[in-house]
Chains A and B, each alone.
Chain A
Amino acid sequence: MTLPTTIRRVLPQLVALFVILALNTAIAPGFLDIAFANGRFYGSLIDILNRGAPVALLAVGMTLVIATKGIDLSVGAVMAIAGAVAAALITSDHSLAATILATLGVGIVCGLWNGALVAFLGIQPIIATLILMVAGRGIAQLITEGVILTFNDPGLVFVGTGAVFGIPFPVILWVAIGIAASVLFRTTALGLLVEAIGINRRASSLAGIGTSALLLAVYAASGLCAAVAGIVAAGDIRGADANNAGLWLELDAILAVVVGGNSLMGGRFSIAGSLIGAMIIQSVNTGILLAGFPPEFNLVIKAAIIVVILVVQSPASQTLFAFMKSRPRSEEDAAAPVREPEKEAAR
């Protein structure tokens, strides 16, 4: 057990990811092949990284929201809005920079709306974000006038389908945003303050933490991530599909956070864990597609695999593992100086 803490934290997720990838390799012989063609790497592994981008992006923001004991159901709808805004602006001859800035701004505004409902009006996050989840798709449809708004702007298409040094641009985006968010929250005190709010908002407020401002900030961050995901999804198909863009992805994002070992009860969080969670989900999706089972089995297989992962991660199983591990180590523990013999009894 000499691994650094950060790696040890996501070890169960890495193991799960490895097992799924191994299963995929067994099912699809060429699964691990990576070729270089048309200026980009090409292969199923790359597909997983690339197709998982929207959920990974959403999961970054969702992790932060969930760390505050909240939840953001609106991210799928915000993706649709962002895609619609981007497509509408670029097709009415705005510059790429203006389009992207405005779209990201819209995402932040959506997040601030959610955050204000939660922080100032005290509405439960699940209800507060449900409002935009329901209304958001309608707003997106109003913007696109009910059609798939197609565009051919090379810049916007690049966001969804381009590649830098052979790596698909969406992959670079989610990795970069994931690292940036981790660095921002771990090198500053934001991580600690967000965790404190998630564990005990009242006590945090009494300790002088600006809880309302921080809640606004994390929901805005979630909206921003959703807007980036929305641009990626629209760029990918060169069009804004208000009816389908991001549909049900809020649930995949929440699942990614949970599979990543984060608790819905808030508190301790790991963005890396959530990103690995997103990759686990996408590996399952891609594996199912490669396996060639009839589509009626898709959801059943996915659910079964997720259940196994969650059961392995559950507190009950963790206790069991800890118990099994503790057996040979108990002497070593007993030898360590313990000032408080009755840990378990303290309330």
Chain B
Amino acid sequence: MKNLKTLAGAVALSALMAGSAAAADMTVGFSQIGSESGWRAAETTLTKQQAEQRGIDLKFADAQQKQENQIKAIRSFIAQGVDAILLAPVVATGWDQVLEEAKDAEIPVVLLDRQVDSSDDLYLTAVGSDLEHEGEVAGDWLVKEVGDKDCNVVELQGTTGSSPAIKRKAGFEKAISGHDNVKIVRSQTGDFTRTKGKEVMESFLKAENGGQDICALYAHNDDMAVGAIQAIKEAGLKPGSDILVVSIDAVPDIFLAMENGEANATVELTPNMAGPAFDALEAYKSDGTEPPKFIQTESKLYTQSDNPKAIYEEKKNQGY
């Protein structure tokens, strides 16, 4: 299916290249990394939605996880004379030359969700989330939720050494510092997967008096939380009440868990990077407003009171 979409995109692209460009206010090329995760698929879906809503003609190129494909796509966008380019870079290095080519052609480039190691005058702006801030939002919610009660937190880290794992941990610790009643008692990696999340949670439950001593779980992503929720249920405890569950990403399945009262809160890593990007581009095109070099997307907190069922239905169709 994904490949069909890609194929369709490629066909559309070549049709455009043949000179049958539909009339539109703005033509934007989008070089996407690929479709390695549900979140990225949602990002692609939302970018296309945003473009359609704004009447932007979007040219989409899937790079299949290869930088050379992205460079090729950008050069082809330049050759076609697009008005702007969105780039979700697969790696951080090696972009100087192609970005300079875009600059020489006076085509603004906006980076989506990942950064590059190039001078910041080679691109217009970068749109992304702040990983550390996400951890902080999660921590703030927990601190508020427990009030003055003592709360032992177990933490499911992302893949050891990965930047989301490091930053989401740091942000959470920052939020709970100064609140001595909230402390992390166990922290172990769950590799961002459901299986490992479940396995590690099982061991946390055993190590902490069958889970009686655990007040809350903080997971670096929703998938690990979903796995851990099953472990908690199988241990005869009620996730969401016996053990509070807070995690990050806001993938559809966590909303189902919230609907069932099994998860308490999630912080959204929004797949809508294109919205702020298009906003900045439109402003820049109309009156030359220079956007800041980094546009931070909102790290929105969702809880059980946010009608999780409705959000699930909405997100379900975004390709997660």
Contact residues of A with B, CB < 8 Å? 28, 30-31, 35, 37-38, 40, 42-44, 47, 51, 141-142, 145-148, 150, 161, 233, 236-239, 241, 243-245, 247, 285-286, 289-290, 292, 294-296, 298
Contacts and interface: CB of A to CB of B under 8 A. Distances in A.
A150 B226 CA distance: 11
A146 B38 contact: yes
Interface of B: 1-3, 35-38, 41, 157, 160-161, 186-189, 191-196, 198-200, 202-204, 206-207, 209-210, 223, 226-227, 230, 234-236, 253, 319-320
Given A51-B202, A292-B207, A241 B38 contact: no
A286 B204 CA distance: 10
B41 A290 contact: no
B191 A145 contact: no
A237 B227 contact: yes
A289 B188 contact: yes
Contacts of A295: 157, 160, 187-189
Nearest to A43: B206
A285 B203 CA distance: 10
B230 A47 contact: no
B160 A296 contact: yes
A141 B236 CA distance: 34
Given A146-B2, A161-B234, A244 B195 contact: yes
Contacts of B198: 236-237
A48 to B, nearest CB: 10
B203 A233 contact: no
A8 B157 CA distance: 42
14 contacts: A30-B206, A40-B234, A42-B236, A47-B202, A147-B38, A148-B38, A237-B230, A244-B195, A286-B203, A289-B200, A289-B203, A289-B204, A290-B203, A292-B207
Contacts of B196: 244
Nearest to B251: A148
Contacts of A294: 187
Contacts of A244: 191-196
B54 to A, nearest CB: 26
A161 B206 contact: no
Contact of A237 (B194, B207, B235, B320): B194
Contacts of A148: 38, 194, 223, 253
Nearest to B197: A237
Contacts of B195: 233, 236-237, 241, 244-245
A200 to B, nearest CB: 40
Contacts of B202: 47, 51
B314 to A, nearest CB: 16
Contact of B2 (A145, A241, A286): A145
Nearest to A287: B203
A43 B211 CA distance: 12
Nearest to B200: A289
Contacts of A161: 230, 234
Contacts of B234: 38, 40, 161
Contacts of B193: 241, 244, 247
A247 B194 CA distance: 12
Contacts of B223: 148, 241
B172 to A, nearest CB: 15
Contacts of B236: 37-38, 42
Contact of B230 (A142, A233, A238): A238
A145 B253 contact: no
Contacts of B186: 292
**Residue of A35, A243, A289 with highest tally of chain B CB at under 10 A:** A289
A298 B206 contact: no
Given A146-B35, A289-B203, 8 more contacts: A35-B210, A141-B2, A146-B37, A147-B320, A237-B227, A241-B194, A292-B207, A296-B161
